Amino acid sequence: MLPSIAVLIAVGMAVYVVWPLLSAETAGGPLPLDVTVLGDLKRRRLVVYDNLKDLEFEYQSGKIAREDYEALRTNYLGEAAGLMAATQEAEQLKQDDAVVEREIAARRAMRKSQPKIEYKCQACGYENPLPVKFCGECGARLAVPGKKQG
Ligand SMILES: [Zn+2]
């Protein structure tokens, strides 16, 4: 079997899998603004498949040279594969989201329960972002939390 035929079959299968999604979306009138990562990836994938179909059509009707056609097709297929992998990754991430969100909530609760260490200067009121001995604004010595001043 020629490699190009194998690729063609792969594209055909991909279009076959995606086509119902595409038809369902276009049939529903104006697309909702989908700002999720998965939605964005899907839209980009559909664009790539559209491009592939157009490319196929243009090649069949003799509008583009075979070398151009093959180069472009390789490009699109690579892009589609990348988007597919990214989608799988995003789907995995989505599944992990619930776990991560619980973890974040737990950490937030923990942070709240801990006393806030302040490096606010008593002299000028500047809130030093890092644990420092001297104020970054005026140079005054800061009170070190948990230590007695000498
Ligand atoms: Zn200061």
* Per-residue pLDDT tens digits for 31-74: 555 578 888 888 999 999 999 999 999 999 999 999 999 999 99
Q: Using the structure block, give the residue that is written with the tokens 């991560």.
A: 100
| Rounded distance from Cα 142 to ligand 1 centre (Å) | 8
Same domain for 72 and 46: yes
How many angstroms does the Cα of residue 149 sit away from the middle of ligand 1?
A: 17
Determine the distance separating the centroid of ligand 1 and the alpha carbon of 138, expressed in angstroms.
4
The answer to whether residues 96 and 138 belong to one domain is no
**How far is 45 from 91, CA to CA, in rounded Å?**
15
Distance (Å) from CA 137 to ligand 1 centroid: 5
Tell whether 51 and 102 lie within a shared domain.
yes
pLDDT value at residue 83: 92
CA distance linking residue 92 with residue 84, whole number of Å = 12
How remote is the CA of residue 148 from the centroid of ligand 1, in Å? Answer: 19
The count of domains in the chain is 2
Q: Is 86 exposed, middle or buried (0-12, 13-18, 19+ CB in 10 A)?
A: middle
CA 110–ligand 1 middle distance (angstroms): 30
Please provide the distance, in angstroms rounded to a whole number, between the alpha carbons at the two ends of the chain.
Answer: 85
Tokens representing residue 118 in the block: 């302040």
Does 10 lie in the same domain as 47?
Answer: yes
- Same domain membership, residue 140 and residue 129: yes
Which residue, among 1, 118, 94, has the nearest Cα to 41 in the 3D structure? 94
Range of the domain at 87: 3-113
Whether residue 134 is found in the same domain as residue 97 = no
Q: Model confidence at 108, in pLDDT bands (50, 70, 90)? A: confident
Does residue 12 surpass a pLDDT of 50? Answer: yes
Distance 114 CA to ligand 1 centre (A): 25
Q: Which of residues 6 and 64 earns the better pLDDT score?
A: 64
Q: From the CA of 119, how far away is ligand 1's center (Å)?
A: 10
pTM of the model: 0.42
Q: How far apart are CA 43 and CA 52, in angstroms?
A: 14
Q: Are residues 10 and 39 in the same domain?
A: yes
**Ligand 1 mean position to 72 CA, how many Å?**
62
Q: How far is the CA of 111 from the centre of ligand 1 (A)?
A: 26
**Burial call 103-113: b when 16+ CB within 10 Å, e when fewer:** eeeeeeeeeee
Distance 122 CA to ligand 1 centre (A): 7
